[in-house]
Structure 1
Amino acid sequence: MMEGLPPAVSWPPLETLMRLTLALGVGLFVGLEREWRGKEAGLRTFGFASLLGAMGGLLGTPFAITAVALLGVLVGFLNWQSLRANEGAELTTSAALLVTGFTGVLCGLGHVVTPAAVAVTSAGLLTWKERLAGFSSKITAEELRSAILLAILAFAIYPVLPTAPVDPWGLIVPRVAWVTVILIAAMGFVNYVLLKLFGTRGVEVTGFLGGLVNSTVTVTELAHRVKETDGRLQDVAYRGVMLATAAMAMRNAALLGILSYRALVNSVVPLTLILLSSIGLALVRARKTPSSAAAVPSLPLESPFSLTSALKFGAMLLLFQVVGTVGQSLLGHAGFYAVSALGGLVSSASAVASAASLSSHGSLSPTTAGVGATIASLASAAVSFVVVARVAGQRALTVRLGWALGTVFVLGLAGAFVQTRIGGLFP
């Protein structure tokens, strides 16, 4: 009896053929790896499994459930046969078959992108068996705990924090402060991974990329790594700090350009000088100083990141946010430069974005906004020197960065003076 079968099914030939073809391609794509490894379930089995799911999806929900149930029976028979041959259970192949069957159902329902993405991911998981096993075997208990802790910070604590101020004056926004805590922890984790994978080359890459997000956070992390390795990362940390400073200037210029083109025009000279001098000093040092990668045979990295440091930095950010807001409220435009300097001590991006926003809304002149952005950028460069001097504990590195960042600071001030003298296009 065929009571469950619809009396008439309207399947457009071309669309139906496309769905079945996609299902077959998905099954063959995943089954290719199993065939290459000499498994009992290979190309044809995975192709049939995906087609079975597609037929179920075309016929409707009851038939889709029946198709998946039949695949379950097939998986049970496959494992029974493998156990009888004393070859162990085929758990990975069984899981791949079930996923392929569900993917076929999606194809039958008319999905395109999702089945293709699932097939590529499944094939990748099967193909990278040795690499994934090797990677997991090298993970230490501390690294695993740190990864879980980072996930808790980002996905468990952050979403439940209030988005609005929690005090009557509107000064303390917990979620904004917690973003910095997550950022510091994530930067430490990325630095740790890059150091393990690429050695000291990874530090310089992280220095630049981290500077695009928060140069102070990046410099703090680099200083901790210098201290942790007893100064063996001085050369690459120096270049990382200078590249982070260059990235900071580039990011601040981009923020001004996006939020207030007029403010960017009125700060283009000092920001350009900060950017070029930072890159130039990093490159000059790179030529004169041989790479220290060979001098660091092993790095005694105990933990991917320090939660204590992240929490302390978050508290500092919250303090400066409160002080900056109060100062701006009490002093008005006269205190704007002071607020910009305070903002640059923790995150020049926030100070620059604030200046650009005020300028775009007409609350601040483009010239004042441009100077404020320059002050915030120079304050960020100055605090980088203070952080390295206090955290790294290496006099040689402190002196080198003192000269380099001092040069950047002087050139930035000179650029700001020239900018105000020549006058902005939009005063």
Structure 2
Amino acid sequence: MEGIPPAVAWPPLQTLMRLMLALAVGLFVGLEREWRGKEAGLRTFGFASLLGGLGGLLGPPYAILAIALLGVLVRFLNWQSLRANQGAELTTSAALLVMGFTGVLCGLGHVVTPAAVAVTSAGLLTWKERLAGFSHQITAEELRSAILLAILAFAIYPVLPAEPVDPWGLIAPRAAWVTVILIAAMGFVNYLLLKLFGARGVELTGFLGGLVNSTVTVTEMANRVRETEGRLQEVAYRGVMLATAAMALRNAVLLGLLSYKALVNSAVPLALILLSSIGLALVRTLAGPRAPEASTPTLPLKNPFSLSSALKFGAFLLIFQGVGTVGQSLMGHAGFYAVSAVGGLVSSASAVASAASLCAHGMLSPTAAGVGAIIASLASAVVNFVLVARVSEQRALTLRLGWALGVVFTLGVVGAFVQTRLEGLLH
């Protein structure tokens, strides 16, 4: 083992800061153990983290020795607990070892990572009852769905080819699989929100889901309306309108990030789509009092998401991508507008991002890119109505959304006309 480094190699202020941070994170986690009345409490955790900090300062051999000594302490702690017939202190032992490694990080000069580990560790210890209760409430179907979603995202996606696999460059498996994962994840999140918050979760899902893919979000909402036999019509209406508003906001942000000129050429219609969607959702909300919380129906939740629906959606996406690419190569701008319309039917974000990217690389004029973004956004609003009409099986909800989305569509077209006239006056 190497000798102890000379004191001159340790700047006093920096060394003191590292040791104080190690002591602080140990005391922070030990406070929870002390509050629970554990044998290893505030001082024990402070010393354990400080020991790791000294090991980090002295070098790797001493850091290893510090962790080994903590292992001896953990063994003695469990031996004493077992002798007192209190069971093994597994959680406290794991926390002590984590704090030992955290102290080593502090000794090596890390700041953010030790603080994050300490906060996370304290949270895990404090939320013991809640975490245990949550795990006991999970059904076998929910657990299988979570594992399946992880397989889709982390096992299948990385091995798929990133480049097109056909001679014409139409079929890109990895890009299509992203949509499959998105659909599955959206269904899973929507399921959890509905289970945790009841009908209130639908509106939150509507806006947040619309930022990702409004088509997927609206499809999930329509499914929930059908499953509850129309009892979620009111919140589903607001959720669809908020999803439409979020879609317009997301498309505007994409344009601004990728091509500011394209955003300028589509700002008026996108703003009208955004404001009218929010306004119609708020008007319905303020028109009368909401039903009391006790009247919220019990939801017949069965499956967090449908894998077959996700796979079908991915297959349709591949078909649309192929047809759109061929149309763009054969008909120029007209083909590009057709691609934008088809893209809006599936995912307006991809169509808008494509238009902005082409504009940024000089392959498309800002005017054409702006028109394409508007077409994709309006097509997305139209498909939302079609999805609700076909999936929800609720005529009243279909009529309400038809009127509201019709207003949004009309204002978007008027905005496009106004945008064109403004550009003509400016040029």
What is the TM-score when the length of structure 2 is the normalising length? 0.95
Alpha-carbon contact 2:231-2:297 (below 8 Å) kept:
no
* AA of the residue aligned to 2:128: K
1:285-316 deviations in Å (ceiling 9; x for gaps): 11235435543232111121111111111111
Moved more, 323-332 or 414-423: 414-423
Q: CA deviation at 1:349?
A: 1.5
Alpha-carbon contact 1:57-1:106 (below 8 Å) kept:
yes
* AA of the residue aligned to 2:88: A
Alpha-carbon contact 1:49-1:100 (below 8 Å) kept:
yes
Query: Which residue number corresponds to residue 406 of structure 2?
Result: 406
Moved more, 247-256 or 76-85: 247-256
1:323-361 deviations in Å (ceiling 9; x for gaps): 110100111123222221111110111222222233333
* AA of the residue aligned to 2:3: L
Confirm or deny that 1:105 pairs with 2:97. Answer: no
Query: Which residue number corresponds to residue 326 of structure 2?
Result: 326
1:381-411 deviations in Å (ceiling 9; x for gaps): 1111111111111111111111111121222
Within-5 A mapping of 1:117-266:
117-266=116-265
1:9-40 deviations in Å (ceiling 9; x for gaps): 53222222222111111211111111111111
Identity of aligned residues (%): 82
d(CA) in 1 for partners of 2:5, 2:347:
67
Cα distance change on mapping 1:7 and 1:396 into 2, 3 Å: closer
Moved more, 80-89 or 266-275: 266-275
Alpha-carbon contact 2:333-2:368 (below 8 Å) kept:
no
* AA of the residue aligned to 2:234: D
Query: Which residue number corresponds to residue 367 of structure 2?
Result: 367
1:259-302 deviations in Å (ceiling 9; x for gaps): 33333232222222222221121111112354355432321111
Alpha-carbon contact 2:324-2:335 (below 8 Å) kept:
no
* AA of the residue aligned to 2:179: T
Query: Which residue number corresponds to residue 380 of structure 1?
Result: 380
Query: Which residue number corresponds to residue 71 of structure 1?
Result: 70
Confirm or deny that 1:395 pairs with 2:398. Answer: no
Alpha-carbon contact 2:340-2:375 (below 8 Å) kept:
yes
Within-5 A mapping of 1:236-315:
236-292=235-291, 293-315=293-315
SS of residue paired to 2:363: coil
Cα distance change on mapping 1:314 and 1:426 into 2, 3 Å: farther
d(CA) in 2 for partners of 1:216, 1:98:
47
d(CA) in 1 for partners of 2:18, 2:364:
59
Alpha-carbon contact 1:367-1:424 (below 8 Å) kept:
no
Confirm or deny that 1:60 pairs with 2:54. Answer: no
d(CA) in 1 for partners of 2:274, 2:425:
21
d(CA) in 1 for partners of 2:234, 2:326:
40
What is the TM-score when the length of structure 1 is the normalising length? 0.95
d(CA) in 2 for partners of 1:229, 1:79:
52
How many corresponding residue pairs? 425
Moved more, 417-426 or 34-43: 417-426
Cα distance change on mapping 1:423 and 1:24 into 2, 3 Å: closer
d(CA) in 2 for partners of 1:364, 1:71:
64
- CA RMSD, 1 decimal: 1.8
SS of residue paired to 2:166: coil
- Give the unaligned 5+ runs of structure 1: none
Moved more, 82-91 or 410-419: 410-419
Alpha-carbon contact 2:5-2:58 (below 8 Å) kept:
no
